[in-house]
A and B are shown apart, each in its own frame.
Chain A
Amino acid sequence: MKLLRLPRQALADWLAALGRDAEVFGPKATAEGPALASLAPGETPDEAPGPPKAPLKTFFFPQPETLAVFSTRRDDPEAHVLRPPRLEAGRRVVLAGVRPCDARSVVLNALPFAGDPYFQARCGATVLIGAACAETCGTCFCRWTGGDPLGTEGLDLLLHPADGGDLLVEVLTAKGEGAAPEAGRPAAAADAEGLAARREASRRAAGRAPDPRPPLAAVDLLALHGAPFWGRVAEPCLNCGACTFLCPTCYCFDIQDETLRGRGRRIRYWDSCMFPLFTRHASGHNPRGAKFQRVRNRFLHKFRYFPDRYGPFSCVGCGRCIRECPVGIDVREVLREMLAFAGRGA
């Protein structure tokens, strides 16, 4: 790993240089807080604490994504033959100012999408430049879910504020090496030591709250599934998709064919476990027909089914769902409820 020191005023030039053969996106200040947007040459990412409103998944798992194209013309001998879509060949993307929680969401989603060529192609064409969090928001709980405000998972480069108004640039991957700023000079040993000390302090802070994963992995799944609190948790829920659509780690989708004037495309679009159609069978039966069953699924998927299968939680603690739920449902409270149930020895 390499550590560079970059004068802050060189940041805009660096991003502009990267923008010569890629599209650059990052959080931009708006009247209501940072929002992900395209950055024009000369623009730098907004530094307000916390993640921007939109989840990063829109870049890797767009809504919708064309999986295949076909013809429906009757005179076409190849009608209804699926062909690969015209890929946005050469579309390279630089995501700058990415919060560590969001970068981690890409790593987590890559677990179920390990064999997905579309997701993988987009990952391959993207350079992720992180911005370490000097401040956290009241809704940030990344440490509790296995992340860190100074975390590097999923990032190619990570920027830290340094003394004298400079930036420290951690070069984390080969891709990051290729995109590293030319104006960056090797950082001093003291810089590296300072950074290591900050990381250590952050790790100690994480240690103060016990890791919720082992107790939740140990609790009997059927008991947790039948726990009495789900009805109470679900009562105010609207079963809308706001929490899942804004969540960077929700990745459920459905597939449909859309046809228009002799041309068709097979698309994949975001779906949500909150929607009744999500689990409805062709017979009309819905195994998750009641609201509380759908709400329960959202949390059990994040905190039990996904870790059972892949290890980590499917939640990076970004707090978006807490900020935007219209009825004030707080994932942290539900996690505590699940832990309390596990702790009672159920």
Chain B
Amino acid sequence: MPDLAGQIRAAARELLAAGEVAAVLGFAPGPLPMTTRPFAARTPAEADRLTWNGFCVMNPANLLPEILAAVEPPRGPKDPPPEGPLPKVAVVATGCWSRNIVVQIQEGRVRRERLVILGIPSRGMIDRRKVLRRVGGREIRRVEEGAHELRVEGPGLHETIPRWEVVRDNCRTCVHPTPVVYDRLLAEPVERTGVDRYAQVAEIEAMTPEDRWAWFRREIAPCLRCYACRNVCPLCYCPTCFVDDSRPQWVGKSLDPADTALFHLLRAYHCAGRCTDCGACESACPMGIRLRLLTKKLEKDVLELFGTEAGLDPGAPLPLAAFRPDDPDEFLTAGPGGGAGPEGPPPREEEPA
């Protein structure tokens, strides 16, 4: 296993010392085992605090626009942007994070020329809840991550866990572990084939509508409406989110199940065609709600209906923000009860010439 932390530190030191970038956005150790903290190193000395491990589950693309703005020379709200190129920021990026950066480029959130992308082929990040479940919820004071196993220690606890068994669901089914854009690749590209990407979604699709609704209600029942899932997502950046709007107010703000359901459905739909299944939302949720299953379903639908996947090509139009004459439209033309079922659009009839 390459020493990725060391390579990130070395690259960061070099870029910062040469003045090529104003900051390097990566991760520093968190306060507890199995936690990390996003961290922007701004000096070569600070670069030494950068780390890398299987618990880097937050998506750094989320903080990228903020860090880019923070390193710009200060100016008043009405002042024009300064002449000449603005300072660059380097960012670590695995496969899915690089695709979120691509979506941000497509959506005009960040400019490619201001980024130095340190690509990291991903071995899959770890779900700390799976680790906790493995040890029956006992306290973990130390975790050592090896190439293929985790050694977990706590009061009266010594366990070795096969790493792949506690890797997050999204990482286990990821087919783009290697970054799609980068300036430097810090390890050998990884390929992952033979995974059933949509097995989890297919299970839910196979349910009756009633069971599906019950599943959904059960899944979101513990939701606190804390919005960690929304705030951690690099795609959720509306200046005022529909749940925060008060004039008019679209959604109630307490724990009414209808309001919670509305929040989850609308949040998911806002990510359709843009979500890269990075899993940050699910990792951030303090209640362990598996909310990426909703966006995963939409990913599957967008792939089946439009033949595209989010964030693979910075030059491509966004599937739901562009129109093509051959876009599927059965939901319009087939009338009530028609439209694309879970299997995707029905085959088209040949038009008479």
Contact = CB atoms under 8 A, between A and B. Distances in A.
Nearest to A275: B244
A236 B37 contact: yes
Interface residues of A, number: 48
B225 interface: yes
Contact of B254 (A236, A269, A332): A269
Contact of B224 (A137, A241, A328): A241
Interface string A278-290: 0010000000000
B133 A31 contact: yes
Contacts of B39: 235-236
Contacts of A332: 31
B138 interface: yes
A36 to B, nearest CB: 12
Interface residues of B, number: 41
Interface stretch (B89-97, B182-190, B283-291, B303-311): B283-291
Nearest to B55: A328
A32 interface: yes
Interface string A304-337: 0000000000000000001111111110110000
A29 B137 contact: yes
Interface stretch (B198-206, B226-234, B318-326): B226-234
A267 interface: yes
A241 B137 contact: no
B220 to A, nearest CB: 15
B252 A328 contact: no
Interface of B: 30-32, 35-40, 58, 62-63, 129, 132-133, 136-139, 141, 155, 224-228, 230-232, 240, 244, 246, 252-256, 283-284, 286, 288
Given A236-B63, A245-B225, A269-B253, 16 more contacts: A33-B137, A48-B139, A49-B155, A53-B286, A63-B254, A235-B38, A238-B62, A240-B228, A242-B284, A242-B286, A246-B226, A246-B286, A267-B254, A277-B244, A322-B32, A328-B35
23 contacts: A29-B137, A31-B137, A33-B137, A48-B138, A49-B139, A50-B139, A240-B231, A240-B232, A240-B284, A242-B224, A254-B253, A256-B253, A267-B254, A271-B253, A275-B244, A276-B240, A277-B244, A325-B35, A326-B58, A327-B30, A328-B36, A330-B31, A333-B31
